[in-house]
Amino acid sequence: MLNVFTLVNGRLFQEEIDSLEDLARFKPIWVDMESPTSEERRWVRQHFGLSIPEDAIDDDIEESARFFEEDNGELHVRSDFLIDDEDDPRHVRVAFILNDRNPDLKSHGVLFSIHDEDVPVFRLLRLRARRMPGLIDDAKDVLLSLYDTDAEYCADTLEDIYEDLERISTKVLSGQVTDDIATEVLAAIARHEDMSGRIRRNMMDTRRAVSFMMRSRMLSAEQFEDARQILRDLDSLDSHTAFLFEKINFLMDATIGFININQNKIIKIFSVASVALLPPTLIASIYGMNFQFMPELEWRLGYPFALALMVASALGPMWYFRRRGWLK
């Protein structure tokens, strides 16, 4: 899918492109390519003179592979954007190409983005820029606004995690943690720990990209201040993420503690039963020796007496354990 975005009266408008002729009719500031076909790549190459590398969205993590500038003035940035999907949370790699220094190229002042699937941050920015005039003035504003919206998206996701952790805390601290509840709680905690880690990684990637834009001296004074504000927002989210990790660890320890208590109750029952049955076993062993000269061997009441003695020896310890509160 190939979409171009033009700036009209301070608002961002989207146009779908179905042919090379459609592409030539517009003067965009942003060209967004979602899983572009070879034909769409050819249109971009013919109209803008821009060749999109085949490995534009590879998984390289080295800074030299993710942030660099070509000899012709093209700035290349590769960033990861978060998708908060409950069933399949993941990152989407997006490659940005921006030429803001070489006016001889037709791609001058146009931001190109390439990715494999739709990104929620992109949808949020498109909606906001269409409704809020003056939010975007040029292609660099588009890129900065994407990173700003990404920080807000991470903040909203962290708030959702905190609210769910509050509900989990109510269950755990109620003291009635059964095995089923513990299983549910541990599964939820594991999901939130994974998502918090993804958010922290995403914020680190965004911080690196914004810092690279500031070092490249491509931003105006106002845009430079906007970039600094994005970095400050990311710093505040870092402390909030650290707090969530501490809360997750506390809930994990508390849940495991309740699991251990439930297991200890089961082990205590078996321990009490084994101790209570030791005296009857001893009595049965003595009476099972069958010595010829035992006094009880010819006694008619010997067998009932042995049975009664075994029952009494079993009930006695149980009564004592119950009185001491060890069976609760």
126 vs 135: CA distance, rounded Å: 11
Domain boundary residue, one of 133, 157, 187: 133
Domain boundary among 133, 158, 193: 133
Task: Report the CATH number that the domain containing residue 82 is assigned in CATH.
Answer: 3.30.460.20
Is the sign of the CA dihedral 191, 196, 197, 203 positive or negative?
positive
Judge whether residue 84 has pLDDT over 80.
Answer: yes
For residues 226-253, one letter each, b for 16 or more C-beta atoms within 10 angstroms of the residue's C-beta and e for the rest, the string is bbeebeebbeebeebbeebeebbeebbe
Q: Which domain holds residue 48?
A: 1-133
| Token couple for 287 | 């009476």
Query: Of 65-69, 107-111, 176-180, which range is least confident?
Result: 65-69
Question: Residue 197 falls within a domain, yes or no?
Answer: no
For residue 231, what pLDDT is reported? 92
pLDDT at residue number 148: 92
Question: What does the pLDDT look like over 279-299, one tens digit per residue?
Answer: 777 777 766 666 555 555 566
Q: Is 75 part of a structural domain of the chain?
A: yes
Tell me what the mean pLDDT of segment 91-116 comes to: 85
Helix/strand/coil percentages in the chain, nearest 5: 60, 15, 25
**Total domains present in the chain:** 2
CB 154 within 8 A of CB 199: yes
CATH number of the domain enclosing 316: 1.20.58.340
End-to-end CA distance of the chain: 66
Residue 226 lies in a domain: no
Residue 228: its pLDDT value, please?
Answer: 93
Q: What is the pTM of this model?
A: 0.77
**207 inside domain:** no
Domain boundary among 112, 133, 154: 133
Residue 33: enclosing H or E segment and its boundaries? Answer: strand 30-34
pLDDT digit string (tens) for 150-208?
999 999 999 998 998 888 888 887 777 777 888 888 888 888 888 988 999 899 989 98
In-domain check, residue 146: no
Please report whether residue 201 resides in a domain: no
Is 124 inside any structural domain?
Answer: yes
Four-residue CA torsion sign, 137, 70, 46, 17: negative
Gap between the Cα atoms of 73 and 97, Å rounded: 10
Residue 176 lies in a domain: no
